Copies of this chain bind each other. A is one copy, B any other.
């Protein structure tokens, strides 16, 4: 709380509206009128409108030609593409970090994070909450490792689509078989990615990071074929048509 709550209404609108969409409270394809939604969230049209603009940019809302918005309707293909793009961009961040060298303090932070993840996936003291926290840390650090603000920003952007984010399937853990084993494999990949970066092996780092993102696709496809009725437990999957 270092700063005052500037744009308090805007932030509230953004968070609440995004949450409504992601959790499926607003049916995909439904038209949203600014006045009605402003009344529902108890704020004026001005900040709500800004929030809607932002959500259009995030891809959760679509503009209607005649004016106004509706909730975006996703196909499986869209999520697969979103995950693919995240893999590509994280791969680029990894490759550039390898080619250009790692910002020292971020490299140290990465070591610490990886050790924390090692502890979290240790079968003797498995700690799911710690894994979630440090996994997010890993992906955040990876995006910034090459020291390029632009790259970091675009990687973060690619993870904004909820189901494409590296943390998307953490909530649906009970749906994934051998979940603990799968986290262990993911952590093994984290280690290899960092190893490749520090060894200046750009191509390897890029390929590994892409493959790592593929985990999300595997989980997505598993949930949608095996537990389609439970899919709405994973944030963002409620939007997927069929």
Contacts and interface: CB of A to CB of B under 8 A. Distances in A.
- Chain A interface category by residue count: 20 to 34
Nearest to A206: B88
A6 B63 CA distance: 13
Contact of A150 (B3, B78, B154): B78
A154 B85 contact: yes
A160 to B, nearest CB: 11
Contacts of A81: 148, 150-151
A65 interface: yes
A146 to B, nearest CB: 9
A89 B84 CA distance: 11
Contacts of A88: 88-89, 92
Contacts of A92: 84-85, 88
Nearest to A147: B77
A53 B81 CA distance: 27
Contacts of A158: 154
12 contacts: A3-B65, A46-B46, A50-B53, A53-B53, A59-B150, A59-B153, A78-B149, A81-B148, A81-B150, A85-B89, A85-B151, A85-B154
Interface string A1-30: 001001000000000000000000000000
A183 interface: no
Given A59-B150, A77-B148, A150-B78, A96 B84 contact: yes
A60 to B, nearest CB: 13
Nearest to A67: B6
Contacts of A3: 65
A82 interface: yes
Nearest to A82: B150
A122 interface: no
A215 to B, nearest CB: 19
B85 A150 contact: yes
Q: Which of A6, A151, A154 has the most CB of B within 10 A?
A: A154
A84 B92 CA distance: 9
A82 to B, nearest CB: 6
A226 interface: no
Looking at A59, A92, A153, the one whose CB has the most chain B CB atoms below 10 A away is A92
A59 to B, nearest CB: 7
Interface string A139-157: 0000000001111011000
